[in-house]
Chains A and B, each alone.
Chain A
Amino acid sequence: MELGGLVLVALLCLVFHLRLPGRLPSEGDYRAVAERLKAEARPGDAVLLFPWWAERARLFVPPDVPVYGYLGSDRDDLTAHPRVWVLGQPELPRSDEDGFLASFLPERRAVGTPTREGPLSLALYENGRHRPRRFVATDAYAKARVYLESPDGTRRDCPFDGRAHRCPGPSHLYVAPEWHEILYEPRRCLWMHAPGGPQRLVAEFDGVPGGLGLRLEGGIIWEHAWPKDARFTTTYMGVDDEASGSQLLEVAVPPGLEGVQKAEVRLPEGEARTVKVWVRSENADRRQVCLDVLAVEPAVGVRG
């Protein structure tokens, strides 16, 4: 009986190995998917990978269509994108399509018929979680006024050199959009390393429209967020209204808090305003902040 069990296990293992190659896409499958995306994808569309790690698709997807696939991307709202193409491999071992759909489907609606290319599936969805963007700090950074601000209000300017606003002091004190990881998620965000001490690093943006949601999204990049060592200090990032001096948003990131931190406030209707985006931390060590500030409309929701 013991031997029977062992032989049965071995036969099942053999079946696994024999079936596996048929569950893997060929280069031709990927090229066919890429052709469809090239023909049908619109500006603003995105591709979401399922399972999240199946990144070979990046080799083939047209470069102008952003590809999302990171640990946790199943739950990503992808608010920047009105439509999302899900490029899936549901036949891979341990692919949990139901689990993926449970995270992905709310507020989304399938458009058209999904297609198959070998084991690859491609399905288009209308993204009800999309929030049209009226202001993005990362896009507007070149026109920002950047400076180091002391508690008494004195300022030291960080002049723009065509690529970044560089501050006096250490070379990491500058403001520019960059790609960074915040808890596995790739984000193009404004690099704003906390300067240390009581001073703040401030970027001032004009023309933020009223009557919208003002969102602050950011965090400490990579492994620097993880240590809880007592010598590190809490990082504060926030947004102030320049005219009134009132604080619109503030987020505290204590040592050990990983991931993208988010806060939102609804701006009153009215004229566009100037906002001060700032960051500070008493001890600058390992306080590598990357953030973005957005003015967004409410989620569009799904039609029908």
Chain B
Amino acid sequence: MMGRAPTRDEKRLAWALWVLGFVALWLTEAAVGYTRDESVYFAAGEAYASWFRQLFQSPARALTDAAIVRAWDYNHEHPVLMKTLFGLSHLLFHDALGWMRSATAFRLPAFAVAALVPSLSFLLGSALYGRAAGLFAALAFLLVPRQYFNAELACFDVPVAAMWLLVVYCFWRALEDAKWGLWCGVAFGLALASKHNALFLPFVLTPFALWRAWTASEGQAEARTWLLRGVGLFAAVAVFYGLLVVSLGGGEGFQRKFLLLSPHTLLFVGLAVGGAWVLKGVGKVSAPVTRAMAPILAMAVLGPVIFYLHWPYLWHEPVERTAWYLAFHAKHNHYAWFYLNTLLREPPFPLAYVVVKTALTVPTSLFVPMVTGFLALAARAVLGLFERTRPWVERPVTLAEALVGVNAVTSILIISHPQVPHFGGVKHWFPSMVFLGILAGAAVSRGCAALWERLKVKRPGLHFAAVAVPVFAVLLAPAAVYSARVFPYGTAAYSELAGGLPGAATLGLQRQFWSSHVTGVLPWINEHAKQGARLFLHEVHGGSFRDYQRNGMLRNDLRPVGSPLDADIVAYQYHQEFREHEFLTWQAFGTRTPVTGLYLDETPQVVVYVRPEPR
């Protein structure tokens, strides 16, 4: 199937799922603590929003590099689409209108973008495998506790998964409707503006575009010639860029000589102009080939343009600052991470890590259909390759199915590389999870259809929903129970396969991270801390301390300190790599007995000590 527009009913259901996701996230967010990164993004959002104020009041001054750097230098290791939305939402809904508390206002755009995932999963899944599959994929995404938790945060991991899905959806639609090619380019630009994961998208989608264009141009010499011209254009530009790098003495020289009027820019303009010429030419001879090539050209041209335009920090120094940004992520730090009783501190990391971690965190009743859905697709693809086995396959794998299958493994394969940083739980491969959800939907829908066919023999009037609804209920119920049980402590979620949180603790897996579980002990601290007490909230970012106070979750008279030595109360976050901090508290307080703590299914998450009163 080469893409199709949703039916009216599908559009309605997609909107309903978006609303469901958005409202559910909004209604439940207040319980979710502020992760270390989130408070940084809150502060960044505020700084960026203040620049927009300045732009409104004094545009000439706001557009100077000094003013831009003042506002946008903070957290320039990430592009700013989401942070800008967080900041503007805060400016409007909290500062100007006063409709909601500070944190909710920051998070609102994250909910809106995250809610695209169930919505788009449904549209793609429904088109490929039927409405039941799409619906299962949509609901399954929200019922994976770690995904739901991350969707609550003003961070980028779920937004970039949503953007990734949006790009793939636009690409797929473009194969049937040329104007979606342009949208694909826009979506790619937005994805680049969300997080650097998107940089891998062209490598995933280009082979599909070429495959489609190649098969569509079969027997059409002129179309094939235009296709080859297009490929030649991209190849020539790539070769010239390569020659530029070599002739200018490597990456640094290339970067230094990259000016507005330089061969570098000329090549990019050449690609855009040449690409438009190729599209115009091929458009006259073959619509399918045009539709296949258009999204790639749109991504190549609009992606970098949108990325540049969305980020004021790049406006005066685009090359140097983009290079810094890319280098930062190419050489990212490795944080300690506890995995199967071993503290991983540096590469090479275990190859199976991503698969094992996924298996042990995604609710098992959802993980198993993801596996069977993917294996069924892979088996059909492999069997379809050989003449002898081809008859065994009921229907060959379509390009769209292959697109889903490849995207289901891309992020997993990238993060599985032993040299790639492995901290952060499962969030770095969320883009894969979205597509695995669709394949899970396919597996469940296939099973429901088979059962329905059987039952229809005896009861011809039986409606499909009479089979699908109870099956959905049984498969989704454990995930719902598990989600409710662990909420809002998402980074501690471990599946039935792991044995839940206790099983995971025995297996020696990271108990939690990102510090947000401290909310579990804040009510006790608020009730028991003496006036003006000095508080050491271990692992909690200074910004988060401020945000807890700002949002009424922590008493304003309590003061943050940086060490147990200076504290009256310590809330230690149980991390295997930070055991020393708890023992320093024993040393500082002269006691090994905590007063309270957050224990989830017996696993220590946050342990609270109070300095004994001097006798």
Contacts and interface: CB of A to CB of B under 8 A. Distances in A.
Contacts of B482: 13, 17
B503 A93 contact: yes
A74 to B, nearest CB: 11
B446 interface: yes
A179 B474 contact: no
Interface in B597-615: 597, 599, 601-604, 607
B574 to A, nearest CB: 8
Contact of B604 (A7, A55, A95): A55
Interface in B489-519: 496, 498-500, 502-503, 505-508
Given A66-B592, A179-B583, A179-B587, A9 B597 contact: no
| Interface SS of B by simple majority | helix
A96 B450 contact: no
A93 B365 contact: no
Interface in B455-507: 471, 474-475, 477-478, 481-482, 485, 496, 498-500, 502-503, 505-507
A221 B580 contact: yes
Contact of B496 (A16, A63, A179): A16
A6 B471 CA distance: 9
A289 to B, nearest CB: 14
Contacts of B604: 53, 55-56
B53 interface: no
B576 interface: yes
Contacts of A303: none
Contacts of B507: 94
Given A9-B364, A59-B597, A186-B579, A24 B481 contact: no
Contact of A5 (B368, B448, B498, B596): B368
A236 interface: no
Given A53-B506, A94-B499, A94-B507, A70 B579 contact: yes
Contacts of A55: 604, 607
A25 B444 CA distance: 37
Contacts of B448: 3
| Interface SS of A by simple majority | mixed
A58 interface: yes
A10 B506 contact: no
Given A17-B485, A56-B602, A184-B579, A51 B597 contact: no
A279 B336 CA distance: 29
Nearest to B508: A71
Interface string A115-150: 000000000000000000000000000000000000
A32 B577 CA distance: 33
Between B451, B580, B595, B604, the greatest number of chain A beta carbons within 10 A of the residue's beta carbon is seen for B580
B584 A179 contact: yes
Nearest to A61: B593
Contact of A17 (B478, B580, B602): B478
Contact of B602 (A92, A96, A184): A92
A226 B345 contact: yes
A174 to B, nearest CB: 13
B587 A3 contact: no
B593 to A, nearest CB: 5
Interface string A60-76: 01010011001100000
Contacts of A71: 341, 508, 576
B580 A181 contact: yes
B447 interface: yes
Interface string A37-64: 0000000000000010111101101010
B168 to A, nearest CB: 26
Contact of A67 (B444, B576, B592): B592
A70 B576 CA distance: 10
A6 B447 contact: yes
Given A2-B446, A63-B592, A184-B579, A10 B478 contact: yes
A10 B592 contact: no
B576 A6 contact: no
Contact of A13 (B365, B503, B596): B365
A169 to B, nearest CB: 21
Interface in B357-400: 363-365, 368-369, 372, 376
Contacts of B599: 56
B333 interface: no
B311 interface: no
A184 B365 CA distance: 35
A89 interface: yes
Given A13-B496, A93-B499, A94-B502, A6 B475 contact: yes
A124 to B, nearest CB: 21
Contacts of B368: 5-6, 9
A24 B499 CA distance: 13
Contacts of A92: 499, 502-503, 506, 602
Interface in B83-104: none
A12 interface: yes
Nearest to B477: A14
B443 interface: yes
B602 A3 contact: no
A223 to B, nearest CB: 7
Nearest to B511: A53
A17 B481 CA distance: 7
B586 interface: yes
Between B444, B498, B505, the greatest number of chain A beta carbons within 10 A of the residue's beta carbon is seen for B505
Contacts of B594: 58-59
B591 interface: yes
Given A51-B506, A71-B576, A179-B584, A6 B341 contact: no
26 contacts: A2-B443, A2-B446, A2-B450, A3-B450, A3-B451, A6-B443, A12-B496, A13-B363, A16-B478, A17-B478, A17-B482, A24-B602, A51-B505, A53-B505, A55-B607, A56-B604, A59-B593, A59-B596, A63-B591, A63-B593, A93-B500, A93-B502, A94-B499, A94-B503, A186-B583, A186-B586
Q: Which 10 A-B pairs have CB atoms at the shortest separation, nearest pair first?
A: A3-B447, A93-B499, A13-B478, A10-B365, A94-B503, A222-B580, A93-B503, A94-B499, A181-B580, A179-B583
Interface of B: 336, 341, 345, 363-365, 368-369, 372, 376, 443-444, 446-448, 450-451, 471, 474-475, 477-478, 481-482, 485, 496, 498-500, 502-503, 505-508, 576-577, 579-580, 582-584, 586-587, 591-597, 599, 601-604, 607
Given A51-B502, A59-B593, A94-B503, 4 more contacts: A17-B482, A24-B601, A63-B592, A93-B502
